Amino acid sequence: MIDLSGPSQPWPEAADRLWAGCAGDAVRGREEGGDLLRAELSSVFGLDPRHVTITPGARVAALAYGLAAGPVALERPTFTGVSAVLSAARVPWTYVPWPEIGDVRPGTLLWVTSPCRNPDGARIEDDVLARFLGAGGRVVVNATNVWFDDEPLPAVPGAEIVVSLHKLAGREARIAFVHSPRFAEEAADLLPGLTPSARWQHTWALFIRRGGLDLLRARVSDMLKAREEFAAELGAYQVGGAGPNVLLRLRPGAGEEAAAALLLARGFKVVEGRHFASPVPAVRANFSGVPAREAARFARVLRATGLLDGWP
């Protein structure tokens, strides 16, 4: 079975060895882990370390933002883990497709994912965010999938940025950061009990300093090749966006659960679009760790089943 659901991938052996050495050095070291990690992450992205706040993940950042600055307008489609934590905290939120962002009430915090949005790989135009900010809104860009894109972080003056290592390093990474001049103060009461330990941050800082991110990113080219082979095999069916994810619209009458079950029977595990608030019936496929030949075979299976909407 080929898992296209987006499971965490095992690290290269070289990355494992480097991590082990960094963990040992962090135990013996005397440097302040948080300060060092902020400096290293800021260096990677060209950010001001004074405005970088470490969190254990994007969802914790979303929770802190919602509690401090709600209500929240969430893009659609999107990763529904964010809406789940907002609902759990009773933060008011609503979905808004990108074309309707201009209709969002001023004073609302807008949460969008760019580049390589999960689930469809889309990238929002900077002008859309700039207009929303100019109308009195507040914008947070979840740029967690920047690891899979050749473009830099969104550069919209006034927009705040969230980046997690989860998609690159796996769910156990427990490291993300927010770049914002005011987030640290707003989240001051929430984060102390949630922020990763200084030793954990120190280990990650050393790992980044010694080239660990490059070792992990070396796998990205394989993912991009798989995506390219998939798109080429589908041909006339346009696969938009970039990065590891594609959202595949289903033909009218095809249910998501039935489609996922059919594909699983053919050897491919996908995720139903409802898990990403897809406005139309769809399934999502993620090509991380998938060989290019299997991505091409998946495209052939999709063609044979006739599941896709708009197939010529």
Nearest to 247 by CA among 75, 121, 96: 121
Q: Architecture of 13-215 per CATH?
A: 3-Layer(aba) Sandwich (3.40)
Tens digits of residue pLDDT in 133-148: 999 999 999 999 999 9
Q: Tell me the C-alpha distance between 292 and 255, whole Å.
A: 27
Q: What is the mean pLDDT of residues 126-139?
A: 94
Compute the Cα dihedral for 141, 12, 150, 277 and give only its sign: negative
CB 145 within 8 A of CB 113: yes
Tens digits of residue pLDDT in 152-207: 788 899 999 999 999 999 988 999 999 999 999 999 988 888 889 999 999 999 99
Confidence of residue 30 (pLDDT cuts 50, 70, 90): low
Does residue 136 sit in helix, strand or coil?
coil
The pLDDT value given to residue 235: 81
Q: Tell me the C-alpha distance between 256 and 307, whole Å.
A: 10
The pLDDT value given to residue 70: 80
Among all chains, which residue has been given the structure tokens 């938009």? 240
> What does each C-alpha distance from 295 to 10, 62, 136, 208 come to in angstroms?
19, 33, 44, 31
Question: What would the two tokens of residue 87 be?
Answer: 């609902």
- Angle among Cα 293, 220, 163 to the nearest 5 degrees reads 140
| Domain regions of the chain by residue span | 13-215, 219-305
Tens digits of residue pLDDT in 42-64: 999 999 999 999 999 999 999 99
The pLDDT value given to residue 210: 97
Per DSSP bridges, beta strands 176-179 and 160-164 are antiparallel
Confidence of residue 31 (pLDDT cuts 50, 70, 90): low
Domain 219-305 belongs in CATH node 3.90.1150.10:
yes
The pLDDT value given to residue 38: 96
Tens digits of residue pLDDT in 191-247: 888 889 999 999 999 999 999 999 999 999 999 999 999 999 988 677 888 999 999
Among all chains, which residue has been given the structure tokens 């156990």? 172
Amino acid at 152: P
The pLDDT value given to residue 311: 58
Nearest to 275 by CA among 76, 101, 112: 76
Lowest mean pLDDT among 24-28, 148-152, 259-263: 148-152
Tens digits of residue pLDDT in 95-113: 999 999 999 988 899 999 9
The pLDDT value given to residue 58: 94
Across the strands, what pairs with 110?
A: 73, 139
Considering the chain, what percentage of its residues have pLDDT values greater than 90?
Answer: 85
The pLDDT value given to residue 192: 84
Is residue 312 pLDDT above 60, yes or no? no
Does residue 272 sit in helix, strand or coil?
strand
Question: Which residues contact residue 210 at a Cβ distance below 8 angstroms, ignoring those fewer than 6 apart?
Answer: 18, 21, 22
Q: Tell me the C-alpha distance between 122 and 143, whole Å.
A: 12
The pLDDT value given to residue 161: 97
Q: Tell me the C-alpha distance between 237 and 302, whole Å.
A: 11
